[in-house]
Structure 1
Amino acid sequence: MLYIHFSCPPLPHLIVGGISLFRKGDLHERRVLEHTFDLIFVFSGALYLEEDGCKYTIEPGQYLILTPGNLHKGYKACTSDTTFSWVHFYTTGDFFYSENPITHVDSKMNKTKYYKKDVFYISLPQYGRIDDSLHEILKNYMDSISQVKIDKYHNEKLFYSSTKSQIEYQQLFLKILTIFCDLREHEKEKELAEEVFDYFSSHYQNAFDLNELAAKYSFHPAHIIRSVKKKYGLSPLQLLLSIRVQKAMKLLAEERHSVGEIASLVGFTDSSYFCKQFKKITSVTPLQYRNQTRQQGFDT
């Protein structure tokens, strides 16, 4: 996966948007855009594009961002009628590419930041898929900024006058970018939450420290909380307690340790707190759970 990183400010800006209707057998043109990014989103059919030696198949719900200075062309004709929207955009700021997204860590506001915005980055995955639930929203945005229609069915290229102010066009463009940025953010949040889960599963005996966790993954504590809650419906501490209780349930079933010993083995320093959390999560006390598992063993 290639990521395109824009150093901001300034923000990338819209040049023009359009829609293209290709017939079966049509091929995308061969060209180099020296100063322009071309974002393509396919609604029906499929496009077969090659950029700088890399071949892409863009099917319904998928997108590709073609980058400045690289030769791109259709490497295969459309195998069915194809409809896609496109956006040409650029930035007067710096941009670069990498195989990994840039992690943004929120910094605390202070009095030295009143008059100058710190540099931040917009990271766009070059190629991917948009969730089905966002297709209609994205289509509405792209239709709203469209001022060009390329119709291969009737061999026409139509141009339309502005119907909105330039500020409105740029606002719509930024909403489009937000959808593509959020793809990375949602995936990143999911990956972060899973990493935290794996860490807790291996280090459940360690004391919980949200700030240490934030430092370990280079994220703000609030971002850690949000990511974990979005994935598991629990705060990081609740997730850790749940994992500890799951470990305790296995030890209780084995009947080799007392409740106090098990509390210590799974990371609780206070057996009373352990019993309280165990009952909160399982609806029974540790001893009641042990008796239930023992009875089940007798019944089988």
Structure 2
Amino acid sequence: IISNWHHEFEIIYIVSGTETIYIENECIVAEAGDIVVINKNRIHSLTGKGWVHHCLIPSDTMIQSLGIDCADISLKPHIKDPELANAFLEIIDAYNSGRKYETAFKMLAIQRFLLLLFEKHEIKYSDNVENKRSSDFLIATKVINYLRQHLAEDFSIDEIASELGITTSYMCRCVKSATGLSILDHLNIIRCYTAKHLLYHTDKKIGEIAELCGYRNASYFAKNYKKIIGISPSETSRR
């Protein structure tokens, strides 16, 4: 099973069959008509037999254009909602219609679906929990942005905390609380997915890509890559 990870929400509609979706430590078994939401920055993988699904990964810009501040929102991961399922089917129909103004109809269908999704299935928290969660998520976002900007460099956890003006222990607790992962986990995920992109889309050698992604030891890079991506760097580069 190959794991995946990205910044955006991923929304999966199960057309037929049964699909098992692992989102970090959670296992969801979804069947036809179900919708599964993979919240931002979550490691996930999919497996199943005889299943068919459609996937939607809306950009933050698209969601924000609807007046939804999605920066620190979480959605229910497993949804059984006929109204929402029908709205997703309208997206599929819009893409297959070939009608006049097809692009506009696609956009309208996606917007309607997203509005229903966020209106009905946002996870609600009490004010105290929400304030704590928002604070943790804000710090986690700043840390992840720092990791993305400096992924090729050598730096310490203390340097990140100093850059953000907070203590190292507090920063680590916030990131773990908000995402379920450590800062080192996030760094390795970002580096390995950047490496995966370079392996697919450039002719650079594996050792060079490892170096560009901040790995000074080729065997350590290969070990982390296999653990996170599910296949070795050499298997990726042959595809």
Output the TM-score relative to the length of structure 1: 0.37
Structure number with the higher strand fraction is 1
Structure number with the higher helix fraction is 2
